[in-house]
Amino acid sequence: MRIPVPALAISIALAACGDSRPIQPAAATPFVRLAAVPGRPAAGYFQLRIAGDRGALLSVTSPQARRVEMHETMTSGTMSSMRPLRHIAVRRGDILAFTPGGRHLMLFDVDPAIRPGGRIELVLHFERGEPRRLTARIEAAGGEAR
């Protein structure tokens, strides 16, 4: 089994401190995929393990987008549709997942200076506790950071 060097180094450091718990990433690589058509919304995705009693995710904002909406894709037979989500209840230990084909963010009026390969900040606002900030990488419409 191959263990990535950074993960191995962290594991060794934690073992030296007497902590042998497995390392759990707080957020799996967040990314925002730009729209194929200029003027259309970008789509945002992330996974986040919920720590503590947060109640519900109420909204997501970004200083680089005028508006961010939470949506969910639903499929019935051969038809797919989207619906906005007002909030998402979460409990401690849950993995809050926004993935292609499921829950996702729609970012409207993204700063035109944002380019593939760059970064954008996502701010998650919960019912309880401080907002959680994630830095997402920017991908081109085809899914590549150029």
Q: What is the CATH number of the domain that holds 72?
A: 2.60.40.1890
Domain-embedded: residue 133? yes
Residue 141 CB contacts under 8 Å (≥ 6 apart), including other chains: 33, 34, 35, 36
Domain-embedded: residue 33? yes
Domain-embedded: residue 123? yes
Domain-embedded: residue 88? yes
Query: What pTM does this model have?
Result: 0.77
Domain-embedded: residue 83? yes
Domain-embedded: residue 114? yes
Q: Quick one: pLDDT at residue 4?
A: 45
Count how many domains the chain has.
1
Q: What is the pLDDT of residues 36-56, one digit of tens each?
A: 998 899 999 999 999 999 999
Give CB contacts under 8 A, 24+ apart, made by 68-74: 68/44, 68/105, 68/106, 68/107, 68/108, 68/122, 69/105, 69/106, 69/108, 70/98, 70/103, 70/104, 70/105, 71/103, 71/104, 71/105, 71/106, 72/102, 72/103, 72/104, 73/101, 73/102, 73/103, 73/104
Q: What is the pLDDT of residues 72-125, one digit of tens each?
A: 998 888 988 999 999 999 999 999 999 999 999 999 999 999 999 999 999 999
Q: Quick one: pLDDT at residue 28?
A: 67
Q: Quick one: pLDDT at residue 48?
A: 95
Q: Specify the higher pLDDT residue, 145 or 34.
A: 34
Domain-embedded: residue 34? yes
Residue ranges making up the domain that contains 117:
24-139
